[in-house]
Amino acid sequence: MYIIREEDTLLYLLKEANYGAGGSFAAADAMVAESVTLRPLEGNKQRIQQVRGFKGASRGSRSETYVSIEIVMALAGSGAVDQVPAHGLLYQGSSHNATITAMASVDYALIDANEDSLYGGFFALDTFHPLRGLRGGLRFQLGTDGIGRVVFNGFALYDDPTKTSPPTPDFSAFQLPQDINASTVTEMLFYGQSVGMSALEITGRDTAQYLNVANQEEVIQSSGGNGAGYSITFREGDVGVFNFFQAAKENTPGALAFQLGTDVTDAGNIFEFDAPVVEIDSVERVYQQNVAFLRCAGPIVPTAKNNDYTFTHR
């Protein structure tokens, strides 16, 4: 009996030289993912309405067929301050470009033109699901008492799966992630206040959208009019020091800054995120272990082109 188990699957990714051109995988293109959810036949199937004199379902015609995929990976550095992390391709496939400063850092910022696309391969034993023209959106999950995660949700052009054995994987570029806890988060500033963060989630600006016109199909990047956003849960503090309720009521702008890892000590495994301008749309009071926390959420607001936020591996 032919049984495919979760541990029988392999994911490969590389950057396409030209959109939708695909490529050829090498051993180092293999990815270590926490989970991969593949929906190979997304799109519309319409029933053809017919008057035929008897009851029952009519036949259908499938249109706008594409592939949807979610990839969850651990947030980890490369072990070198100026080397792109192993999951860096997920950043490239979600409208981010890297600037490498030798012996210093790899800095990521948003772009809105000439976005990269990825070629992916999902192998389930020797069944190969190709993912041409893969583009998507990004989300960071940075909860304390665990490891950080990068979540990529994307679309790709549909190609029929084939029977193909995967190349031998090389996972040597993947590093163990740092735990997110009181000793490893060295900066957590929200509106200039050092807050006791319990959870932080960052949603990137762009998502993927499948475009289908008469003679063209493509996966394009789209902000959907919403842009980037955040949600943070932290210990409720003295309103005499800073009043987050008032800041939300008066639409007061603030900043959000996060650093995982200690300078010098954790070189090569440090992650920083910086959003210069955020707003608070909602404030919720919650209790964790009988202690009051605030959960604030809102948009990340750009003040110029593509300056919504930056993040760094170093």
Is the pLDDT score of 4 beyond 90? no
The CA distance from 10 to 121, in Å, is 8
The helix/strand/coil state of 227 is coil
* pLDDT category of residue 50 using cuts at 50, 70 and 90: confident
| Contact assessment for residue 253 and residue 279, using Cβ atoms and an 8 Å cutoff | yes
Least confident span in 11-25, 34-48, 250-264: 34-48
- Pairing assessment for the beta strands 118-124 and 9-15 based on DSSP bridges: antiparallel
* pLDDT category of residue 74 using cuts at 50, 70 and 90: very high
Residue in this structure with the two tokens 């190709």, named with its chain if needed: 130
The CA distance from 191 to 255, in Å, is 5
Structure tokens at 133: 């023209």
| Contact assessment for residue 179 and residue 125, using Cβ atoms and an 8 Å cutoff | no
| Contact assessment for residue 268 and residue 81, using Cβ atoms and an 8 Å cutoff | yes
Mean pLDDT of 218-223: 90
| Contact assessment for residue 50 and residue 32, using Cβ atoms and an 8 Å cutoff | no
Structure tokens at 37: 């959810």
The CA distance from 257 to 241, in Å, is 19
Read off the pLDDT of residues 97-156 as tens digits, 9 standing for 90 and up.
999 999 999 999 999 999 999 999 999 999 999 999 999 999 999 999 899 999 999 999
The mean pLDDT value of the chain amounts to 95
Residue with the bigger pLDDT between 18 and 49: it is 18
Q: pTM of the entire structure?
A: 0.94
Mean pLDDT of 251-258: 98
| Contact assessment for residue 126 and residue 117, using Cβ atoms and an 8 Å cutoff | no
